């Protein structure tokens, strides 16, 4: 039923999925699942598309759906986070696909999962790569607008019982959490980098909190044929300083498209937000540390320990550009190098 990387194959998934669909839609009759196919296998999720034909109140229905199966040690937590985030965002009028069903009991499909609406369209990442001139600028501005709109949402509607202070940032919480995480894995390689960040944290101007995505990039935006955008992949949704969210996106934009689009992304974000982003270089250094540490720990201890799929290490080493770009950003922002990362880059170049 599973392949060598722990993923369910389509043939083994079909029968259990039929039972899960019946549980997800108890008011439907004559349920039939068809056209099941695997469409993505990222570091954290396996994604399948399928179709359900049924009858509801005597009327025929035809639904195109997505199944997201969550990998790693924290699969149930990530499934719950994504489901609740997307439900809240849709209620707030933010453009996300509709989620239909959450299951954290792994007995049905072997892993926690979500069933959700399928959006027929192209990723904004592909459209940006394929376009030039005014068309590309239109796509990039749409991307920045979706990001600014997210950070403008009232975060308290998503976590009404939160004790966060709305008027302050979240830098200390991030630093303390990241340092504790590295200690747990006995990873002193980043002590100097965390020293650099810690020395400067007190001087960073505070910023109101925001609801954040934490992996916001153009390949996580789908553009439907009618031009309507939908933002996907909310497994890391949280409340935090939006500059941490923006810095991660700037790192990804530079990695995927190069420094010019990184600069353009920041410029569009600031223009739409109506103000410059303070201390963005500090947050970019933090984003680079996050990227480098997550890859190094995954390679040393296994990607599943970070909530990713078993075997994701091979994907990481096959994407040297992610590692090299993060190392470049850290060096440019702080003047620091991580010896273990230099060794790893050298090994990958050999």
User: Is the pLDDT assigned to residue 182 strictly greater than 60?
Assistant: yes
CATH code of the domain containing 60: 3.30.200.20
Structure tokens at 129: 């790569």
Residue 1 has pLDDT above 50, yes or no: no
> Which of 114 and 3 is assigned the larger pLDDT?
114
Looking at per-residue pLDDT, the higher value among 10 and 345 belongs to 345
pLDDT for 161: 63
Residue 4: inside a domain: no
State the average pLDDT for the chain: 90
- Range of the structural domain that residue 234 is part of: 122-349
In this prediction, what percent of the chain has a pLDDT beyond 90? 70
Looking at the structure, do residues 173 and 273 belong to the same domain, yes or no? yes
Task: Choose among 181, 141, 161: nearest CA to 269.
Answer: 141
pLDDT in tens, 13-63: 988 999 999 999 999 999 999 999 999 876 678 999 999 999 999 999 999
Dump pLDDT digits (tens) for 231-258.
Answer: 999 999 999 999 999 999 999 999 999 9
Per the structure, the count of domains in the chain is 2
Does residue 46 share a domain with residue 19? yes
Q: Is the pLDDT of residue 65 over 60?
A: yes
Claim to verify: residue 217 and residue 88 sit in the same structural domain? no
| Beta carbons of 339 and 193 less than 8 angstroms apart | no
Asked whether residue 280 is assigned to any structural domain, the reply reads: yes
pLDDT at 345 over 50: yes
Query: What is the distance between the alpha carbons of residues 302 and 295, in angstroms, rounded to a whole number?
Result: 10
Tell me: do 19 and 153 sit in the same domain: no
Same domain, 70 and 89: yes
Last residue of a domain, one of 97, 118, 139: 118
Residues 239 and 329 in one domain: yes
Average pLDDT over residues 184-207: 93
Q: Give mean pLDDT, residues 116-132.
A: 97
Residues in the chain: 350
**277 lies in some domain:** yes
Regarding whether 107 and 145 lie in a shared domain, the answer is no
Residue 6 scores a pLDDT above 50: no
158 within a domain of the structure (yes/no):
yes
Q: Are residues 103 and 140 in the same domain?
A: no
What pLDDT does residue 316 have?
60
Strands 113-117 and 99-103: antiparallel
What is the reported pLDDT for 318?
Answer: 60
Residue 228, pLDDT above cutoff 80: yes
Which of 93, 118, 143 lies at the terminal end of a domain, its last residue? 118
Do 324 and 211 share a structural domain? yes
Q: Looking at the DSSP assignment, which residues form a beta bridge with residue 48? A: 38, 67
- Give the confidence band of 181 by pLDDT, cuts at 50, 70, 90: confident
Same domain, 99 and 140: no
> Residue 209's pLDDT is what?
92
Instruction: State the average pLDDT over residues 266-270.
Output: 98
pLDDT band per the 50, 70, 90 thresholds, residue 75: confident
Domain boundary among 52, 83, 118: 118
Residue 5 domain-assigned? Answer: no
pLDDT digits (tens, 9 = 90+) for 298-329: 888 775 656 665 565 556 656 789 999 999 99
Q: Are residues 172 and 314 in the same domain?
A: yes
Task: Identify the residue with better confidence: 290 or 161.
Answer: 290
Give the CATH number, domain containing residue 223.
3.90.1200.10
Same domain as 208, residue 160: yes
Which range has highest mean pLDDT (138-147, 158-167, 318-327)?
A: 138-147
| Secondary structure (DSSP) of 79-138 | HHHHHHHHHHHHHTT---PPEEEEE--TTTTSS-EEEEEPP-EEEHHHHHHH--HHHHHH
Q: Of residues 336 and 316, which shows the higher confidence score?
A: 336
């Amino acid at each position: 039923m599973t392949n060598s990387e722990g993923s369910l194959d389509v043939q083994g998934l079909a029968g259990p999925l039929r039972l899960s669909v019946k549980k997800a839609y108890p008011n439907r009759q004559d349920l039939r699942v068809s056209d099941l196919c695997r469409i993505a296998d990222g570091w954290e999720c396996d994604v399948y598309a399928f179709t359900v034909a049924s009858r509801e109140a005597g009327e025929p229905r035809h639904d195109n759906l997505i199944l997201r199966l969550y990998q790693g040690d924290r699969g149930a937590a990530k499934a719950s986070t994504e489901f609740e985030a997307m439900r809240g965002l849709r209620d707030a009028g933010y453009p996300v696909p509709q989620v239909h069903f959450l299951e954290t009991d792994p007995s049905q499909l072997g892993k926690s999962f979500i069933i959700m609406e399928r959006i027929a369209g192209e990723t904004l990442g592909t459209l940006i790569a394929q376009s030039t001139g005014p068309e590309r600028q239109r796509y990039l501005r749409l991307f920045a607008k979706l990001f600014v709109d997210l950070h403008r949402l009232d975060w308290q509607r998503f976590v009404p019982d939160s004790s966060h202070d709305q008027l302050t940032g979240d830098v200390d919480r991030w630093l303390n959490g990241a340092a504790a995480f590295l200690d747990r894995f006995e990873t002193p390689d980043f002590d100097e980098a965390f020293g650099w960040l810690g020395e400067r944290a007190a001087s960073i101007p505070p910023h109101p909190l925001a609801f954040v995505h934490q992996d916001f990039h153009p390949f996580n935006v789908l553009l439907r044929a009618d031009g309507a955008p939908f933002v996907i992949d909310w497994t890391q949704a949280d409340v935090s300083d939006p500059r941490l969210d923006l810095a991660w996106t700037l790192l990804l934009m530079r990695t995927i498209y190069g420094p010019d689009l990184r600069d353009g992304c920041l410029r569009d974000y600031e223009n739409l937000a109506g103000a410059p982003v303070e201390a963005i270089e500090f947050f970019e250094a933090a984003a680079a540390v996050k990227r480098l540490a997550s890859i190094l720990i995954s390679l040393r201890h296994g990607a599943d320990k970070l909530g990713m799929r078993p075997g994701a290490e091979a994907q990481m080493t096959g994407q040297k550009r992610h590692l090299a770009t993060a190392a470049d950003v850290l060096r440019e922002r702080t003047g620091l190098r991580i010896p273990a990362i230099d060794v790893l880059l050298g090994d990958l170049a050999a």
